[in-house]
């Protein structure tokens, strides 16, 4: 289906593909594909797709956008602190999930799933408040939120408002797809919402076949890369954050029009260091863990390592990945920074 409000057709995936995915991921979800690039999403996204595409923007909005597991959370905390005059106490008091509107997250939280979670957590009304908040469609949350608004999305640029960069700042972060795939695999195991039960090699197969949420990976990145020279777009690589955090923080500060002293820069980089980040309860979605929605075996922030994919790829997968990357980079000058 398509309409004047939303220019792309939305269609269910093939039944054979749906059956395969239902054996590996949460069986409750149905999947759709959107537009000519076949962006892959949980079907509930279709309920808010047109509203997100047409949402009114404000000049002081700040978007953090990425394909999942590309350094989004790291970038969110960095952007929020710089834009909020380094208010660390407020950052500690309010979970990152509540400081940002995650535009499409409600697609995971159907009424049936919410009812199940609430039945399992009787007596935890205070903890369940965050879930009710996350279940509100992102466009509705955005409309009722005061300015300045901080918005997070994994949607590609083509599914966001077409006038987005006319007045709104966007920080987009990209990462080597092999590291993304490993991290995304662990996230899908971590979240009981997705409940992935296969091994990494099977997940990699879904990843390169564009059968994971928000895929295809390369189309997603290329859309943002083509806009990287727009004055309201800052395109970052995770590998830049990892290799030289101070310089990257300074770039973000300049983009947001914020002045930061060398002492403030040192403090912020310490706050953002992976070791401190892993132990920050405001970041790690502990509130969802208390509701049994995250596995106790995994943590939301993992190693934060560039090049860590080598620990998970066998020789065949390594060759396949390199060929896949080379083929997808043929028509673009985008290159991932090398990692030693």
Task: Write out pLDDT tens, residues 124-136.
Answer: 777 777 778 888 9
192 pLDDT above the threshold of 70: no
pLDDT, average across residues 39-50 = 96
Whole-number Å distance between alpha carbons of 246 and 76: 16
Whole-number Å distance between alpha carbons of 17 and 11: 13
| Residue 193 belongs to some domain of the structure | yes
Domain count for the chain, please give it.
Answer: 1
Give the domain extent around 90.
Answer: 56-328
| Residue 153 belongs to some domain of the structure | yes
300 pLDDT above the threshold of 50: no
Query: What is the percentage of the chain residues whose pLDDT exceeds 90?
Result: 69
pLDDT number for residue 281: 66
| Residue 172 belongs to some domain of the structure | yes
201 pLDDT above the threshold of 80: yes
CATH code for the domain of 150: 3.40.50.300
Average pLDDT score over the chain? 89
pLDDT number for residue 148: 96
What does DSSP assign to residue 170? E
pLDDT number for residue 324: 97
pTM (2 d.p.): 0.91
pLDDT number for residue 2: 46
| Residue 304 belongs to some domain of the structure | yes
| Residue 159 belongs to some domain of the structure | yes
| Residue 197 belongs to some domain of the structure | yes
Model confidence over 95-126: pLDDT tens digits? Answer: 898 899 999 999 988 777 777 777 777 777 77
| Residue 174 belongs to some domain of the structure | yes
Helices (H), the chain: 15-24, 49-53, 72-83, 88-93, 96-99, 111-120, 125-135, 138-144, 164-167, 177-190, 200-208, 217-225, 238-243, 245-256, 262-272, 274-278, 286-289, 315-328
- The string of DSSP codes covering 215-284 is --HHHHHHHHHTTTTSTTEEEEEHHHHHH-HHHHHHHHHHHHT----HHHHHHHHHHHSHHHHHT-TTTT
| Residue 291 belongs to some domain of the structure | yes
Query: How wide is the angle at C-alpha 253 spanned by C-alphas 247 and 259, nearest 5°?
Result: 110
């Amino acid at each position: 289906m398509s309409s004047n409000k939303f220019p792309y057709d939305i269609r269910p995936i093939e039944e054979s593909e749906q059956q395969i995915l239902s054996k590996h991921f949460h069986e409750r979800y149905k999947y759709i594909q959107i537009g000519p690039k076949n962006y892959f999403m949980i079907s509930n996204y279709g309920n808010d797709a047109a509203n997100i595409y047409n949402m009114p923007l404000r000049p002081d909005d700040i978007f953090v956008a990425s394909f999942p597991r590309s350094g989004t959370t790291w970038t969110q905390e960095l952007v929020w602190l710089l834009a909020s005059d380094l208010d660390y106490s407020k950052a500690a008091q309010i979970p990152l999930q509540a400081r940002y509107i995650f535009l499409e997250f409600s697609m995971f939280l159907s009424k049936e799933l919410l009812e199940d979670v609430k039945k399992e957590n009787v007596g935890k009304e205070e903890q369940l408040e965050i879930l009710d908040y996350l279940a509100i469609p992102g466009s509705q949350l955005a409309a009722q939120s005061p300015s300045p608004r901080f918005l997070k999305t994994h949607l590609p640029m083509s599914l966001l408002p077409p006038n987005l960069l006319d007045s709104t700042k966007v920080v987009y972060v990209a990462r080597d797809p092999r590291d993304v795939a490993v991290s995304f695999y662990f996230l899908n195991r971590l979240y009981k919402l997705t409940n992935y039960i296969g091994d990494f090699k099977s997940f990699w197969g879904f990843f390169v076949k564009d059968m994971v949420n928000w895929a295809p990976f390369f189309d997603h990145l290329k859309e943002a890369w083509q806009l990287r020279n727009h004055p309201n777009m800052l395109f970052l690589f995770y590998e830049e954050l990892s290799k030289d955090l101070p310089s990257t923080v300074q770039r973000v500060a300049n983009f947001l029009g914020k002045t930061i002293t060398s002492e403030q820069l040192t403090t912020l980089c310490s706050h953002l260091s992976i070791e401190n980040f892993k132990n920050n309860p405001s970041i790690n979605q502990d509130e969802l863990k208390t509701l049994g929605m995250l596995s106790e075996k995994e943590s939301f922030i993992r190693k934060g390592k560039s090049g860590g994919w080598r620990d998970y790829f066998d020789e065949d997968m390594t060759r396949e990945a390199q060929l896949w990357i080379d083929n997808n980079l043929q028509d673009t000058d985008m290159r991932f920074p090398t990692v030693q």
